[in-house]
Structure 1
């Protein structure tokens, strides 16, 4: 091809192609993509060469670099993004520009590309103690949350010191996310501290928002939830801590606090939706507290309540079964009714349900499997008991929760003599899988003996 033919096929005029070939003009990424297609090469084939010419050998031009980063994200050329960013951040004036691109990536679901930029910007500002550094750590915390509970714990520990450096309103959402994460990990001491801090900060912001001249729109645009939700959620978390510690009377007091939201003056649709949600959660948790105190009269009413609310179904069955195991209640009829609706929660990959994050659903479904297995095995329902035990064992391994995994192992060994040959084979296969994973991780092996 001569230059005219190349230009015609690439949709570029001959003068532009001539300037590009002579090196008197630097390619834009769109032009490079067109020429790459004409030459029959895969998309992104020349991107590493482009980095050399566009960033290393010439003065970087943000008007060329920004579209290049977006194109790399589209093609999943993460190594090219990493190389480009490392070169650009020798000059700290690019830090805010790269942060803005990271935000666009984050908001459009380009998580891996966003993480590279946030990590790089955070590293470049680690000695600045800036709000941007803290916000990068916040975004990285959210991006790192997943199925592996050990990784989630590390992400929470790494982010927690940066919360106080965030904007005061961003702190509310950050504390809410941290509280949820520690709750899914059953780190109740941490949940209690985070929830108390969330409540204190939410009260301050509510007081400021009620002062004359303060525009509520500023809060609504900045926060992910209406402002009152953060105070109510603080009480919800603290009630959960009391429940986990067996302090059910105190948990009941917190439930009554977020049940009564009559002090919320706004009456817009979003506010009313959240008020209704907290009323529902309070009603459910009041049932639970009474159950755990030993009031079996509420079982039927609680079962009817969760039957009408899919979001509360899993945690409801968990609570009813836990109470049955504690006080020796017979709940066979209730479990039989809800059995078909429990099956989706036994799958390895959980999804969020309402306000419950995938991490919380993972933990609750795993504990529910344990409580159900315990109930059936102690009540001679061995087939159902072992089915829930094996499902919970597999999920504990999947989310890397070794404490829960060990509880399933102990339960199986206690009832091993009642397990059929097929059940014992499935159990051994799962334990071999866990053995192999632990060897790869170099961690302690859980033995089935």
Structure 2
């Protein structure tokens, strides 16, 4: 098959020229390629560059990338690869989303480790540009080919793979975390701060709060070490970490506050909130970047104080919290979840708050999640919790139809993301009201249970 493919581009060109009755000079004029160069390409005496391939493809009226797969076979598998042609090929394929072509070529090229250094640099470039799927292919190939199994570059590859592999599936994320964690020690010491932060975030999304607390403590220790190290240096080096160092200590305390909240230790959560706000107050002459971070943490502190008080049963601050949310729209989903949760726990009527955000909740319900991103994975969990708590709230008010409707919304997302623990909670709550569900709701529920594949859970 490959033997046939290596001539396909030339065969296509020659066939096109015959059908269009084009002489070589005329086709040269159309493509903008020198007639001598074009002749050498067609005779197989000269390799074709990516730019020339695109010029020819365009002149033939074909979409860009039409010949890329064949070009990859001809130039990098059946012929000795040359970086001058391979690099632009990777960039063009990545830009067009031709991932299969990248995979095919890279698998062959990395066999002899000839271009491992260059491929890593391209992977980093793809990562920075947001070409995540293409970057993942390169990182995995480089990691597989890395000779020195304790190298910093291997660790960085594993870090990038960890970031790119995260999905909405809890078990997949746990596997990714367990696989990556041993590589943290091999990373640059500043990058370790980002890695620990990201790892703690992931453990939070799968509710392993003891692990989050452990990593938060580790983040504080490593940040303090870096601060001390920098104070001893005569000359400040270029920052490698994604954020200023003080941010990591503040974020670690924010994580500890989150853990305390999950443990229902709300006074302790308020103490940690005071700590990270005090860190922000201690920054003198902040840069524009630092001031933006200071404002962000102070905003979180304000909102979280309202939240912790409400979760403690103090609903006197609810209206002030709602005013805060009117300015901080990005926090509405998680805030509504906890407000409804607290209302369920303390049997407090929050209809006015739900009416205030009715349109927003409807919009949340119809939006779909995107797989593969940490924030979306966390948002997916909040979505499930929000509609589960709304279901409990409406069912407690004897608004059965609306309550079951919210419950089915939550269960549907549980099933699609394989969140079995929340599936069980939804199924248990539905069981208490199944006799009062409408015919349509019963049908929806049965379809979801069938999709879940657990025959014992039936309506």
Could you state the TM-score of these two structures normalised by the residue count of structure 1?
0.88
2:312 corresponds in structure 1 to: 293
1:97 maps onto 2:107 in alignment = no
1:362 corresponds in structure 2 to: 380
1:79 corresponds in structure 2 to: 100
TM-fit CA distance, 1:58: 4.0
2:294 corresponds in structure 1 to: 275
Which of these residues, 406, 417, 422, is aligned with residue 399 of structure 1?
Answer: 417
Residue 338 to residue 10, structure 1, CA distance change in 2 (3 Å): closer
- Point out where structure 2 has 5 or more consecutive residues left out of the alignment: 1-21
Q: CA–CA distance in 2 between the matches of 1:281 and 1:379?
A: 32
TM-fit CA distance, 1:52: 4.2
Q: CA–CA distance in 1 between the matches of 2:75 and 2:347?
A: 73
Which of these residues, 140, 143, 149, is aligned with residue 122 of structure 1?
Answer: 143
Which of these residues, 326, 333, 349, is aligned with residue 345 of structure 2?
Answer: 326
1:15 maps onto 2:36 in alignment = yes
TM-fit CA distance, 1:40: 5.9
TM-fit CA distance, 1:120: 0.5
1:448 maps onto 2:458 in alignment = yes
Residue 302 to residue 55, structure 1, CA distance change in 2 (3 Å): closer
TM-fit CA distance, 1:212: 5.2
TM-fit CA distance, 1:93: 3.7
Greater alpha carbon shift after TM alignment, 112-121 vs 311-320: 311-320
1:229 maps onto 2:247 in alignment = yes
1:304 maps onto 2:323 in alignment = yes
2:217 corresponds in structure 1 to: 196
Could you state the TM-score of these two structures normalised by the residue count of structure 2?
0.86
Say if 2:449 and 2:455, in contact at 8 Å, map to a contact too.
no
TM-fit CA distance, 1:235: 0.6
Q: CA–CA distance in 2 between the matches of 1:112 and 1:6?
A: 37
Which of these residues, 166, 170, 185, is aligned with residue 191 of structure 2?
Answer: 170
Say if 1:119 and 1:140, in contact at 8 Å, map to a contact too.
yes
Q: CA–CA distance in 2 between the matches of 1:205 and 1:310?
A: 35
Cα RMSD over matched residues?
A: 2.6
Residue 310 to residue 77, structure 1, CA distance change in 2 (3 Å): closer
SS in 2 for 1:215: coil
SS in 2 for 1:152: helix
1:346 corresponds in structure 2 to: 365
Q: CA–CA distance in 1 between the matches of 2:314 and 2:228?
A: 39
Residue 214 to residue 11, structure 1, CA distance change in 2 (3 Å): same
Map 1:110-189; keep pairs closer than 5 Å: 110-125=131-146, 127-189=148-210
- Point out where structure 1 has 5 or more consecutive residues left out of the alignment: 436-443
SS in 2 for 1:320: helix
Say if 2:390 and 2:403, in contact at 8 Å, map to a contact too.
yes
2:228 corresponds in structure 1 to: 207
1:385 maps onto 2:395 in alignment = no
